[in-house]
Amino acid sequence: MRERLASVAKLFIGIWLGGVVVAMFLLVPQYEGLGNAGRIIIMHVPTAWVCVLAFTISAIYSALYLWKNKPEFDNRALAAAENGFLFTILATVTGMIFSQVVWGIFWNWDPRQTSIFVLLLIYAALFALRSAIEDLERRRRLSAVYSLFAFVTVPFLIFIAPRMAESTLHPNCAFIEGSECEGIELAVGKIGLLGDRKVQLLGLSQDGDVVTAEVKVSEPGLTSEAILHPTWSASEGHQIVSPEFPNLRYRLTIMSADMASQSAKLNIMAPGTGILDNRITLYTFLAGIFGFTALFIWMFRVRSKLLDIQEDLQQREGAFA
């Protein structure tokens, strides 16, 4: 009975994720400014979420191993870490595809890309550590301790560091409620950073209700410069024209302006902001999170089972040697 239920659950995961793939391409509408590239969030965010879940489970089993000293806990910690590593690679690759479309480059050493790369290195070092120690007991104990230390970096590298950095292009505001892209307040002549672009407010003029800013934007490395003219409605308090940054699908927008002090609040509008306002996109996104979590649980159980078998066989070989 239990085996039959397990088989039904696995079939359900197969059909569910197949449905998510179909919905991702056929039901989710194109998002303005992103086109078909916006669909990738249905894959990208759930894989990133699963890597956090997997590393958390790995840390829990590592702690349990240190406490109870049972080999099966070490096997589960390893299985979760391996799966977490795999899902982190998937999140990185899907993010790179998105960045190629939106930022015009696969790898930009953006804070978000750098932090996930560091995370990959930290967990790759765990596997290197495991393969470098011959003594089984010592390998388990050391990797459990290392896994706990590695986990301490996960919340910092995934949630804190990319949000602390002011010069990220990653559209945090798109997905996380309460997370605001606040923009920067600049007086005429002053320089600031929006994303990874240098901006300088050259001038501010008002014609009736319309406030126009003259902004010089420079690409990273100051390879090229352009002058943009975003406009803002003083009476209604919203942007009228938000021009695109050169070679980027991000727009420069005025959030507020004060003619008396000759200053304006400028912001970068990421495509994808508000992408989940669409109900179909939101439900597909949630279905993706559920499906990928279930897939991870399945993969984790299979890998744990295989590691247990491997351990059993090694013990038998030792006993008969």
Partner 1 sequence: MNIILEDAVAVYVAMAVALSVWIVIFIYLWRIDAHAKEMRRQLDSKSRTEQNPVPTATLRAQKARESSE
Q: Which residues bind partner 1 (CB under 8 A)?
A: 10, 13-14, 17-18, 21-22, 24-26, 36, 298-299, 302, 305-306, 308-309, 312-313
| Shortest CB 131 distance to partner 1, Å | 22
User: Based on the number of CB atoms within 10 Å of its own CB, is 256 exposed (0-12), middle (13-18) or buried (19 or more)?
Assistant: middle
Whose CA is closest to 126, among 72, 70, 83?
A: 83
Residue with tokens 């290197």: 128
| Shortest CB 264 distance to partner 1, Å | 38
Token output for 321 = 């040697």
| Shortest CB 309 distance to partner 1, Å | 5
- Number of other residues whose CB lies within 10 A of the CB of residue 154: 21
Between 248 and 299, CB nearer to partner 1: 299
Between 187 and 309, CB nearer to partner 1: 309
| Shortest CB 69 distance to partner 1, Å | 22
Between 14 and 104, CB nearer to partner 1: 14
Between 21 and 148, CB nearer to partner 1: 21
Helix axes 41-68, 279-320, angle to 10 degrees: 40
Between 18 and 237, CB nearer to partner 1: 18
Cα Rg of the chain, angstroms:
25
- Number of other residues whose CB lies within 10 A of the CB of residue 77: 28
Determine contact, residues 93/121, Cβ cutoff 8 Å: no
| Shortest CB 79 distance to partner 1, Å | 12
